[in-house]
Chain A
Amino acid sequence: MAAYLLRRLIQAALILLGVSFITFFLLYVLPADPVRQIAGRSATAETVQNIREQLGLDQPFIVQYGRYLAGLVQGDMGRSYLQKTEVAELVWSRLPATLLLMLGAILCELVLGLTMGIVAALWRGKAVDQVLMITSFVTVSAPQFVVSLLLLYIFAVKLGWFPIGGYGTFSHLVLPAITLGILGSGWYSRMMRSSMIDVLRADYIRTARAKGLTRARIVLRHALPNAILPVIAMIGIDIGIFMGGIVVVESVFGWPGIGQLAWQAIQRVDIPIIMGVTLVSAFAIVLGNLLADLIAPLIDPRIKLR
């Protein structure tokens, strides 16, 4: 176990190093000059050059990257070029909101997706199965912006059940979490359906039926725990997919998470912020996958960590 964990942590560190290198390199070759953005329209060539030197942007790529890594190791993610604020402070101030939203959304995804998947599997080939599968297809392909605005319009503006965007209380969380939950639930329902169908065909289910157990007991006690395994691995992957959707949903609902921060930074070529957000997202994905792998054996003892 300890050896496994150590190996995985080394792997994770290498992945993060790779991500940081690729992102830094892409931003380095990007045909847009951050110094120009900082210096403004009335700057003289000397001012531009001066700022370039102060930020060390006149140095070769390897020196710049080396400096960034050296700072990172000491916990320094740099300072935003345009806001002149510590990147770590900007990211930390927004991380709790994103984590909360992610948690709520994954919960919605699981509840919606698993229910749909189980129901579809149990009534396989019937009308309800077809309707659910079409629904799941629609949800994964629906534009996030449209769904967000639609829910906001119906439940906040027309019905007045929830606040129109914002952050702070549980009722603020409901709509954005449900939006992300609906949009992501399609993947889970499809995965759960096929996994459940496989399990329901297995010999031990037939045995359970032969013993005369109730259908509810067979599904909940015997089929579900086995069918759910691939879904757990999927949550880890899902965190990665989430990062894309979160940018849009956070913007529409005025949710102060890192998605918004990233979008604003990209518009302004604020490289330290883009780097910081990318690394934090990559870290979340790596951590999500690791946790999924660690939890799997707890549910299915046949899985051994090697």
Chain B
Amino acid sequence: MKKLLASTAIMLALGLPAVAQDYTPDPAATAGGTITVTYKDDVATLDPAIGYDWQNWSMIKSLFDGLMDYTPGTTELRPGLAESYEISPDGLVYTFKLRAGVKFHNGREMTAEDVKYSLDRVTNPATQSPGAGFFGAIAGFDAAGEGGLSGVEVVDPLTVKITLSRPDATFLHVMALNFASVVPKEAVDAAGDDFGKQPVGTGAFKLAEWTLGQRLVFEKNADYWRAGVPFLDSVVFEVGQEPVVALLRLQNGEVDVPGDGIPPAKFMEVMADPAQAERVVQGGQLHTGYITLNVTLPPFDKLEVRKAVNMAINKERITQIINGRAVPATQPLPPSMPGYTEGYAGYPYDVEGAKALLAEAGLADGFETELYVMNTDPNPRIAQAIQQDLAAIGITANIQNLAQANVIEAGGAGTAPMIWSGGMAWIADFPDASNFYGPILGCAGAVEGGWNWSKFCDEALDAKAVEADSTFDPAMAADRLKMWSDVYMGVMEQAPWVPVFNEERYTMKSERMGGEDALYVDPVSIPVNYDYVWVKQ
């Protein structure tokens, strides 16, 4: 036991992943008030095991808690429902000590049984959770079903022990995912399939009203276990609002935060007006937009061709198409992600060099191919820019403008030679370098129906990725990041992607909104961290 405690101490001190112990909310913050947030689409579901889009992601964060959490406005882990945790020296056993006296919205106290139930539920195939795969490292995952996970054990009402089948350096991040939220069994049983409409959690807010297609009202959880928060009495989500209309209403003082952001057509106008631009907060996000080059289809099976395409794309110009709301990308990882290779310039924009490479590949006259793209603005415009860039080196790319689902299908089936990822570009589920590899660049995703649309599979890189993720020892944190950096540099050498840009986030708010800027570009709560923002009366 002593050894365990020692290892925890090291873990906390060295911080891999970085663990922040406390957070001091804005001292000027005042409690009370209601804010209005708008969205174009109705909310799909608030069931944490199922919800997996940007809209419900941050809502679920406010209704539920998991064992781990993030310091507001950052990507630093901090304990959530777990008061503390210990990790065994071999990195296989995590023992979480729960906070006492935490209550669900239905008034019942949360216990270790609930943690086990929640993890069993999300990994049970019958739940059809899109997040089940994240829990693959827990022992017994492959046999998960009605019997639950053998690796999750209730030690006493406030202690839960999770055994892994392999060391996983990202495990604490996984426990901070919405999918790992703790839910009460009786409420899930009572609501049946409708739990997503009648959510019960331990979060800072509880659902007070949901009028389908019109509005949702979150009400402050007066019994919230974290003292002092939330500041707001309630948050009203009005759905079915076109972004342009939402902006007009914001300008009219009726809306506090347009959830879908500033519509592209209005972006320049807003930024040109100092009074409005002042209320726009800018921040990085863990996003990369890229073009996939299908390495199994000729002529993209030739490395020279893939490199030539990389050199032909004018990333600066594409960034301008989206009003400069991004920075040109050089590699799969975005700059704010740990493991990003500083100083790597990527393939240069070099038309002549690209032509020379094509000639080297025996394709001096170019070739004809297809570029798949999702049919919502601005993606078709970006595809046209890519098309022009390719035409300059003799490649004729015919644009396939399709609905999202059809692009995903073509990508998974491996029939699309090139895909512009826009609209479906990769945004990290959790802030760790590994999250940009597995499904989209690893061999596991390069199967029929997988999300690795390049169908790129390099066994050596895969092995290195596994090694990096097994490096759970905090003392090796720097080595681990170096390993990941090497993996992504290895990927770039083989050029299955053209990384195009890393999107920046812009959140606009009304004059009455208070709280530090970081809360408005919170990496895990988009558009804002509802628990910590407040209103000036």
Interface residues of A (CB under 8 A from B): 30-34, 36-48, 50-51, 54, 79, 82-85, 89-90, 93-94, 97, 149, 152-153, 156-157, 164-167, 250-257, 260-261, 264, 266-269
Contacts and interface: CB of A to CB of B under 8 A. Distances in A.
A85 B194 contact: yes
Nearest to B254: A164
A250 B240 contact: yes
Chain B interface residue bracket vs A: 35 or more
Nearest to A252: B242
Interface stretch (B317-325, B387-395, B407-415, B506-514): B407-415
Nearest to B424: A41
Task: Pick the 7 closest A-B CB pairs, nearest first.
Answer: A40-B130, A32-B405, A42-B133, A256-B213, A93-B212, A50-B125, A269-B405
A79 B193 CA distance: 9
A164 B240 contact: no
B252 interface: yes
Given A51-B125, A165-B241, 19 more contacts: A31-B409, A32-B403, A40-B131, A41-B130, A41-B439, A42-B130, A42-B133, A50-B125, A54-B128, A82-B50, A84-B194, A85-B194, A90-B213, A164-B254, A166-B238, A254-B242, A256-B240, A261-B42, A269-B405
13 contacts: A30-B406, A31-B409, A32-B409, A39-B130, A54-B125, A79-B193, A85-B193, A93-B211, A94-B213, A252-B245, A256-B239, A264-B42, A268-B44
A37 B405 contact: yes
B130 A43 contact: yes
B50 A84 contact: yes
B410 A83 contact: no
Contacts of A252: 242, 244-245
A138 B93 CA distance: 71
Nearest to B411: A36
A47 B245 contact: no
B186 interface: no
Given A31-B406, A79-B193, A260 B42 contact: yes
A94 B212 CA distance: 8
Of A89, A164, A251, most B-chain CB atoms within 10 Å: A164
Interface of B: 40-42, 44-45, 47, 50, 52, 125-126, 128-134, 136, 193-194, 196-197, 211-214, 238-242, 244-245, 248-249, 251-252, 254, 403-406, 408-410, 412, 429, 438-440, 444, 447, 449, 451
B449 A157 contact: no
Nearest to A156: B248
B177 to A, nearest CB: 10
A38 B128 contact: yes
B282 to A, nearest CB: 26
Contact of A32 (B129, B408, B451): B408
Of B52, B242, B410, B451, most A-chain CB atoms within 10 Å: B242
B252 A164 contact: yes
A152 B251 CA distance: 14
B126 A251 contact: no
B27 to A, nearest CB: 36
Given A32-B405, A50-B125, A165 B249 contact: yes
A261 B43 CA distance: 11
A111 B358 CA distance: 66
A256 B216 CA distance: 13
Contacts of B42: 260-261, 264
Nearest to B447: A45
Nearest to A263: B41
Nearest to B145: A50
Given A84-B47, A164-B252, A260-B42, A90 B212 contact: yes
B130 A38 contact: yes
A255 B440 CA distance: 38
B332 to A, nearest CB: 15
Of A40, A50, A250, most B-chain CB atoms within 10 Å: A40
A37 B409 CA distance: 10
B245 A152 contact: yes
Nearest to B251: A157
Contacts of B440: 41
Contact of A260 (B52, B240, B245): B240
A299 B60 CA distance: 57
B403 A256 contact: no
